[in-house]
Structure formats: C-alpha cells, structure tokens
Amino acid sequence: MCGWSAWARADAPRDEGSAPTDAPAAPAADAGAPTDEPATDEPATEPGKHHKHHEHDAAAAVDGDPSAPPLEKPHKKKKKKHGHLDFGGRVLIRGAAVKEKTAPDTVAQGTINSARVKAEYRWHDLRAEVEVELAGKPRLKNAFAQLRLADGATKVDLRAGNFKMPFSAIQLTSIWSLPMADRGLLDNILVRRLQVAGRAVGAMATIAHGGPWSPELRAGVFQGTDDGGTPLAAPARDRFGMDGVVRLTVEPTHGLTIGAAGSARVGELLEVPATVSRGYAGELDATLDVDAGPGHLTVWLEGMVGTSWLVAGSDPTHRRATFAEGRGIAGWRLGGAKHGKRFYELYGVFGALDPDATIQHDAAIEATGGVTLGAWDAWRVQLELERWQVASNAPIGIVELGIGPTTSTTALIQLGARL
C-alpha cells in the first residue's frame, strides 16, 4: 500500500548517502498511510447472504444425518507480501534581487527554484528510489536500487544507479536539512566545475558497524564526465573513464560526526584536441548537532585539497592546478524538532576556494546570512542576503561553463513546502 512519508529525519540533518536502518521507520501519525490488509483468493459473500449448500450441510449435521457431508473448513486467507511504497516531494519558490558588480542596474526575478518528486520502495532487504527535479528542464536526480547483504552487528549494503558520491558531508546533506536557501557558490564550483562531489552513475558498497564510534565505510566507482556532463568512454590507461571515491565516518561522541574522504577522478575539457585529464582530492569534515541554551545548534565544517584540470592563465604547459577549499555553515534554531511545530532559525555561511595555488587573485568567496520562520518538516519562509565574490584572475568558466568570473550581491525571499 502507499503512504506519504517524510523525506528526511525530523530531529537531525540527514546524510542522503547513508545506509538505511534495520527497518523502515513507521509513518508519522499524520501521514495517513493505511496498513496492508491480507488478501484472499475467494470472492467475498455479500452481507446477509449464504451459500445454500452450506446451510443444508449445517442443518444435516445438526440433525445427525450420517450421510451428510462434513462441514467444509473455512478457507484460510492467504497473505500477499507486499513492499512499502512512499511518495514525497518539495517545492521552493523564490523572489530575488541581484546586483552584479559589472552591471549598471539591479535586476529582480521570481523563479520556481525547485519542484521535486520522489518515490521510494522497500521490501525486505531491498530499497529502490526514483527522484526527479521538475523545475526547468526535467532532470533525473536519484535512480538507484540498494540491497542489504548483511544485517547483523555489521551491516553491509550494495547500491547501484544514479546517486550522490560519498564526498563532502555538506553535499551529502539534503538542502531541506541545511539552513540556507540554496547550496551556494562553492558547492556549484565543486560539483559542476571541479566534479569532486555530486551525483553520478555508479556502484557503492557500505559497511556500517554499530559498535563504539559507529564507524561507517563507503567505497564506490562512478562514471566520469567531460566538462559538459557527457559520460566519458576511455581506455584502461584513463581508468575507463571512471572515478573512485572512498569515505569513512565515525561518531566519537553524541552529536558529533567526523568524516574523511578521498577521490581519484577523470575529466575532459571541451577543447580540441580532446584529452582525458586525471585529478585527485581529499577532504576532512565535521558535523555538530547539539542543544545550545534554549535552542539547537547545527554546524558543518569542511576542508578540501586536490588537483583539477580547470586552470587559469595563458601558459599552454600549465595543464593541472592544485585547489584548496574551506567552508563553514552554522544554524541556531529555536523550536521545531516535531512535525508541524513552529520554529525560528538564524544561520550563516562562509567559505573560500582557491582554484589554482600558482595564480594570485583568483579566489572565490561566499558569505551568506539569513533568518527562517517555519513549521518543522512542513513549510518555511527564508529571508537571505548573499555575497559572492570571484576574483579577476579566476579561471574562465569557474562558476558557469563559458562565462567569465563576476561578483554579485543577492537579497532573496524563499517559500518552501514539503510534500
């Protein structure tokens, strides 16, 4: 049977790439999901009506007629085992005023920032999920199947399809669980331009142990793409166009998760002649989720270093750059934690990325602050101010393919609703 269910945990940020718990959580009280009813192969008899031969047999048995056939045993209802299918979604509507440094006027625009639908199926050790973004051109986000291979003290899961690579705790956390209105400038660079995080087609194994520190290891192989997002078809010397990613997390104390990840990836710039390039990256991150005074504090911190094929300058021999990134997000919330309960949240984001250690004045910096009013896991209204600064020597297309670097200030209001 089908039921509406929450897309993420209501009491803590969700790691979208994590393995499921032992059993799917029960639907919330307002979800309205009916329980599965046992089915039977026999047609139901209308109320108040009986089969005549049953009445005759019953009467004969009562009268002691030895020739009467024995009473028929009632058929046992056969339960048909079905999985559980959940649906969910979200809508984000935004109005924004943007002032670019090089533009004479401030421009304003209203947009549907996100309109996403999701279906998730669970049956015994199987989990499958399909998620589609409908805002703008429809795009497939998640489409994977996951099988639990071991379910003891150590849990082992195998996942294949299109999903997030296990790199960066911030990227792995749903935007609905992050406090800000969108993922921001640095996330766009890391995912779309440097290709160190985000979604890709691949396969991943997860091993999670329930002992002290709750260690969890994820390792996967993912399809690499060129600068335009087209999957690479490469020979063995270029790793068959595949990226390898591994991530380890531990929880040394309640509310604190520490993670480390590494990746070896391939890519290709849209230039002639086309050449497959290799890159490497490593990162450390920490997530804190604790009570603080009368409210609740959530903090994400990460530091990253790696190599990329996105270079600046005109030197034709300069084919590989070393980049470094640091980012922090903090939100302090008063209220919430239960579905529909009102809450207020103050939040801030600051991050910087140096795309090439050999080039000066090429950094990308973001600073964001805002306030949120909402009903927990149901709706929220956000007022936000963003400052994105991209230095003049940054590589062409560092933010968007083929577009030069720019600096902008944005004021926005966004309404979000959870289905």
**Which pLDDT tens digit goes with each residue over 82-118?**
899 999 999 999 999 999 988 889 999 999 999 999 9
CA pair distance 334, 342, nearest whole angstrom: 9
The type of residue at 139 is R
State the residue for tokens 């809508």.
Answer: 91
CA pair distance 246, 261, nearest whole angstrom: 6
Go through the chain and tell me how many residues it has. Answer: 419
8 A C-beta contact, residue 120 and residue 86? yes
The type of residue at 418 is R
pLDDT tops 80 at residue 57: no
State residue 10's pLDDT score. Answer: 38
Residues 6+ apart with CB under 8 A from 401: 192, 193, 227, 228, 270
Task: Give me the CATH code for the 2-20+81-418 domain, please.
Answer: 2.40.160.10
CA pair distance 274, 276, nearest whole angstrom: 7
pLDDT tops 80 at residue 5: no
Residue 72 banded pLDDT, cuts 50, 70, 90: low
Q: How confident is the model over 28-41, as a mean pLDDT?
A: 41
CA pair distance 150, 148, nearest whole angstrom: 6
**pTM, to two decimals:** 0.79
State residue 123's pLDDT score. Answer: 96
Determine what percent of the chain is predicted with pLDDT higher than 90: 64
For the chain, how long is the longest CA-to-CA vector? 107
Pick the range with the lowest mean pLDDT from 181-185, 193-197, 265-269, 274-278: 274-278
Residue 402 banded pLDDT, cuts 50, 70, 90: low
State residue 168's pLDDT score. Answer: 96
State residue 114's pLDDT score. Answer: 96
CA pair distance 13, 16, nearest whole angstrom: 9
Strand 139-151 and strand 126-133: pairing?
A: antiparallel
Q: Is 97 or 48 the better-scoring residue by pLDDT?
A: 97
Query: pLDDT digit string (tens) for 285-340?
Result: 999 999 999 999 999 999 999 998 888 766 777 778 999 999 999 999 999 989 99
Pick the range with the lowest mean pLDDT from 60-69, 189-198, 242-251: 60-69
Instruction: Identify the burial level of 416 via C-beta atoms within 10 angstroms of its C-beta, where 0-12 means exposed, 13-18 middle and 19 or more buried.
Output: buried
The type of residue at 273 is P
Work out the mean pLDDT of the chain and round it to a whole number.
84
For 121-171, the three-class secondary structure string (H helix, E strand, C coil) is EEECCEEEEEEEECCCCCEEEEEEEEEEEEECCEEEEEEEEEEECCCCHHH
pLDDT tops 60 at residue 36: no
Q: How confident is the model over 230-235, as a mean pLDDT?
A: 89
Determine what percent of the chain is predicted with pLDDT higher than 70: 79
Q: How many CB atoms lie within 10 A of CB 83?
A: 14
Strand 321-335 and strand 154-164: pairing?
A: unpaired
